[in-house]
Amino acid sequence: MPLTPTPFIWMNGSLVPWDEAQIHVLTHTLHYGTGVFEGIRAYPTPDGPGIFRLTDHIARLKRSADILMMPMPYSEDELVAATKQTVASTGLDGCYVRPIAYYGYGEMGLSTIGLKVDVAIACWPWGSYLGDDAVTKGVKLKISSWQRHDHNIMPPAAKTTGNYVNSSLAKVEALNAGYDEAVLLNRAGLIAECSGENLFTVSNGRITTPPLHAGALEGITQHTVTRLLGDMGHEVVEGNLVRSDLYTADEAFLVGTAAEVSAVNSVDDRPIACPGAITTELAERYANVVRGGDDAYLHWVERP
């Protein structure tokens, strides 16, 4: 998906012009994958742009940094304010937001002890990651040949740049095979998540999402839709899932900040009813909530 430049990117405390937001080729994180990042969306609302669950995303960024023992040079409040400033500078009603913290230029080698941490925040227009028709048309899933790394190899609880080599390999494999997205299993054969989304199944009215210990990232959109489904009268459980649970599901859907709510129409060429009734209802509710249309969730919509 090509980038559409916006006027400024926030870097280490200042807004700099988009084309001047550059790093040195010997930036440490470029070589070793030791950065942490977030994906956030701002949506048009009746009162201007609203950044959905911004504070929660920045809190997760800090948790990711803590797991990597990365000392953040800015407080969470400072990063929330910087994100609002950056979104406001775009002049857009809605955009995708990418904060990233990384070890900068100065030293090489595997040790990160004592290295300088840089932080940047960029925003740009970006449509739904799996397509604007992913709710109605659905997406084709493939069980990946690549396994999700476990908690003693690469910490899946941290949204770390290096972790996404695993996701990228799975995504490209799926696309090259004619699918839209990949499902990653852990070493025990249990479903962890997709390459960039949490996954839910619906079977006999039971809604299940894989537990975090299976290798899934603690998704903020996952938490959001679990809350929405509960308020809609549906119970969601965290439970182990295997590939056959996907093959026989009544419906299935993916959620993530980039993908929003996307229906699944097949897994390994086994068709799934699409769009399912629960998926459709949830997607409509989610789209309304993130745009400030439901007073019960307005606290999640933060103004620049």
Which member of 62, 140, 159, 171 is catalytic? 159
Q: With the C-alpha atoms ordered 57, 60, 66, 67, is the resulting torsion angle positive or negative?
A: negative
Q: Is 62 a catalytic residue?
A: no
For residues 165 and 182, the answer to whether their CB atoms sit within 8 Å is no
Containing 221, the helix (H) or strand (E) segment is: helix 220-231
Residues contacting residue 2 through CB under 8 Å, at least 6 positions apart: none
Q: How far apart are CA 289 and CA 301, in angstroms?
A: 8
Q: Do strands 260-267 and 139-147 pair parallel, antiparallel, or not at all (unpaired)?
A: parallel
Tracing tokens 């996701």 back to the chain, one arrives at 167
Interior/surface letters 249-265, b for 16+ CB within 10 angstroms, e for the rest: bebbbbbbbbbbbbbbb
- The pair of structure tokens assigned to 207 is 């809604």
Report the alpha-carbon distance of residue 220 to residue 228 in Å, rounded.
12
Rg (C-alpha) for the chain, rounded Å, is 19
Please tell me whether the peptide bond between 73 and the residue prior to it is cis, using omega within 30 degrees of 0: no
Distance CA 154, CA 10 (A): 29
Query: How many angstroms separate the Cα of 282 from the Cα of each of 51, 172, 202, 226, 253?
Result: 20, 29, 12, 10, 10
> Tokens 């084309």 belong to which residue?
19
Token pair in block for residue 287: 């789209």
Q: Report whether 279 contacts 135 (CB < 8 A).
A: yes
| Enzyme catalytic residues | 159
